[in-house]
Structure 1
Amino acid sequence: MSDLIDLVHAELSAPVDPRVATMAQAIAAQYPGSARAVLFYGSCLRESELDGLMLDFYLIVSDYSDAYSKRWMAAANRLIPPNVFPFQHGGLIAKYAVLSERDFELLNSGEASNVSVWARFAQPSRLVWSVDHVAADRVVAAVVEAPVTLFELTIPTMVPDASAPPVDIWRAGFAHTYQAELRAERNGRSVSIVDADLDRYERFAVATLAEIATRRGIGPNGEVANAFHADTARRRWGQMRRRGKALSIARLAKASLTYAGGIDYLAWKINRHAGTKIEIKPWQRRWPLVAALTLVPRLMKSGAIR
């Protein structure tokens, strides 16, 4: 196995709060016969006190048709992945996103048309439940592709500098990804993610570069060979920025149909990350789709989300 696979496997296998593992099992139990794995990710991964926080999970299923009894839910998940649902268990609250194994692999790879999955799984996560070792191995293989995708798209856009530390690729890459989605976080968030766990990102940077070198070879000056020409990489980022903003709005609209209390969650998350004081009115809860579609443009104009 490569150094990157070893690092990903070790990180995914790291222990979590027992309540997180119990919640993951409860999520999987809702999808008997189709649940394959559950991953824990996001800012709560760095917190020791989980009460009052919204935990983030990804549920990986074999197939959307197997996962849902309602065909329109399967169609919605297939058309605009993922579907997102609220969840409560053992006194904790969470949300979980549903992806098929095939989509999880695709959306972590360089073939993904948006950053939403690989940008998250290039960061730390935990595999907190799997149905068997085959499912676990597929998750590891998919997550390995996330940092590779980020590096292969980012390196060609950077000014060559042999003296620059490899960890700078993370900073540049996350800056790109934050521009490719509607984000409530303040400027500098992409840098602070790296600086908060610098040793991890340094180790993963070295291993990711070695993985790319194994796949792509070494350039004439000893550098890792680029997967993309600089102009091609910049065009790809431009396309993902345009698609990402539109996709974020489409997901918000879909969540008004699939996510109970989605408009309240949207307000909570923006308030937490952007320091705003949005209060949801009764009519907005009755008409969450209209509320989301009218709220987002106002927040973008004010700079609360970008």
Structure 2
Amino acid sequence: MPNQLISLVTAELCAPADPRAAAMAGALAAQYPDASRAVLFYGSCLREKNLDGLMLDFYLIVSDYRAAYGKRWLAAANRLIPPNVFPFEHNGLIAKYAVLSEADFARLNGPAADNVSVWARFAQPARLLWAADDLARQRAIGAVANAAPTLLSLARPLAHAQDALTLWKTGFTLTYGAELRAERKGRSLSIVEADPDRYRRFGQAALAQGLPPSPIPEEAASRWRRLQRRGKWLSVIRLAKASFTYAGGIDYLAWKINRHAGTQIEIRPWQRRWPLLGALTLLPRLFRGGAIR
């Protein structure tokens, strides 16, 4: 009997997507001809009918970082603090894309990951818009199929009930505490409430196949505290790194926060001139105002 969760993940990843997003994924892969293995489209733009004016989100999966970059320091940065994030434009659309190797993508979707950023995203809907070959496609599908079991296994010891939807809601609430988030409180629950049938089907399939071993409640609480501490620091470090790799990164940061938190942050000229310092000076204001959590 085929694995039900793999079947669900495969069908979702291979479902039709906006043709403009698919074209953008192909163009993105073409920027890395010696290294591109897969391109995945994820995030809120999946649900939008009109992509104009939106910031699309992609993951570019590469064979390895040295093959992807002409500059060694970019390969080292991607290996030490994955992922690297870059802007991209194609046919009037704008996007940001994160770069991960096939090995890191598989590791960061599984229970051994030391942060939530990848499996928390790919436990949600995504599309596999481009793959170099069938092996690359199957590796991407296999990695994504580990995301839901990872989230549910870590949520299970701290959930007040063991049904699939409660586990999902508990897991997303915990992951939102493990990153700097611009979204308002309650966003983690609305993810499940937007499509409860999808999360029920995926959750039941993951439970039926058997989840990775869950820690006892005391150990689970300690594990989540570590994930949350590490996640916050990684968010700050990635922000600092993006000031070197992401053109206009501080303007994107302000746009993202204003959009989700209803703030009116304006970037000053000196902050654009020194984006690392400018981004870091925003953090105390954002924490005090509750714009990021």
TM-score, structure 1 length as denominator? 0.94
Task: Work out the CA distance in 2 between the residues paired with 1:227 and 1:172.
Answer: 14
Q: Deviations over 1:262-301 (max 9, x none)?
A: 0000000000000001111111000000011111122112
Q: Is residue 237 of structure 2 the alignment partner of residue 279 of structure 1?
A: no
Q: Percent identical across equivalent pairs? A: 66
Task: Work out the CA distance in 1 between the residues paired with 2:256 and 2:84.
Answer: 18
Specify the code of the residue in structure 2 equivalent to 1:200.
R
Aligned positions of 1:22-37 closer than 5 A: 22-37=23-38
Aligned positions of 1:199-278 closer than 5 A: 199-212=197-210, 226-278=213-265
Q: Is the 8 A contact 2:156 2:214 kept in 1?
A: no
From 180, 187, 190, the equivalent of 2:188 is: 190
Aligned position for 1:295: 282
Task: Work out the CA distance in 2 between the residues paired with 1:305 and 1:111.
Answer: 27
Task: Work out the CA distance in 2 between the residues paired with 1:177 and 1:211.
Answer: 23
From 152, 176, 179, the equivalent of 1:178 is: 176
C-alpha deviation, 1:235, in angstroms: 1.1
Aligned positions of 1:56-75 closer than 5 A: 56-75=57-76
Task: Work out the CA distance in 1 between the residues paired with 2:282 and 2:125.
Answer: 31
Aligned position for 1:125: 126
Q: Is residue 46 of structure 2 the alignment partner of residue 8 of structure 1?
A: no
Task: Work out the CA distance in 2 between the residues paired with 1:15 and 1:112.
Answer: 30
What do you get for the CA RMSD once the two structures are aligned?
1.0
Task: Work out the CA distance in 1 between the residues paired with 2:256 and 2:26.
Answer: 25
Q: Which runs of 5+ in 1 are unaligned?
A: 217-225
Q: Deviations over 1:172-227 (max 9, x none)?
A: 100000000000101110111111111101111100111226xx6xxxxxxxxx53
Specify the code of the residue in structure 2 equivalent to 1:73.
L
Task: Work out the CA distance in 1 between the residues paired with 2:76 and 2:284.
Answer: 27
Q: Is the 8 A contact 2:159 2:166 kept in 1?
A: no
TM-score, structure 2 length as denominator? 0.98
SS at the partner of 1:117?
helix
Q: Which runs of 5+ in 2 are unaligned?
A: none
Specify the code of the residue in structure 2 equivalent to 1:126.
R
C-alpha deviation, 1:7, in angstroms: 0.3
Q: Deviations over 1:73-98 (max 9, x none)?
A: 00011111100000100111000000
Specify the code of the residue in structure 1 equivalent to 2:253.
L
C-alpha deviation, 1:165, in angstroms: 3.6
Task: Work out the CA distance in 1 between the residues paired with 2:222 and 2:140.
Answer: 29
Aligned positions of 1:152-163 closer than 5 A: 152-159=153-160, 161=161
C-alpha deviation, 1:231, in angstroms: 1.4
Task: Work out the CA distance in 1 between the residues paired with 2:233 and 2:256.
Answer: 19
SS at the partner of 1:264?
helix
Aligned position for 1:44: 45
SS at the partner of 2:210?
helix
Task: Work out the CA distance in 2 between the residues paired with 1:297 and 1:258.
Answer: 23
Task: Work out the CA distance in 2 between the residues paired with 1:112 and 1:2.
Answer: 23
Task: Work out the CA distance in 2 between the residues paired with 1:43 and 1:211.
Answer: 29
Specify the code of the residue in structure 1 equivalent to 2:257.
I
Q: How many residues align?
A: 292
Task: Work out the CA distance in 2 between the residues paired with 1:289 and 1:166.
Answer: 42
Task: Work out the CA distance in 1 between the residues paired with 2:5 and 2:282.
Answer: 42
SS at the partner of 1:291?
helix
Specify the code of the residue in structure 2 equivalent to 1:92.
L
C-alpha deviation, 1:234, in angstroms: 1.2
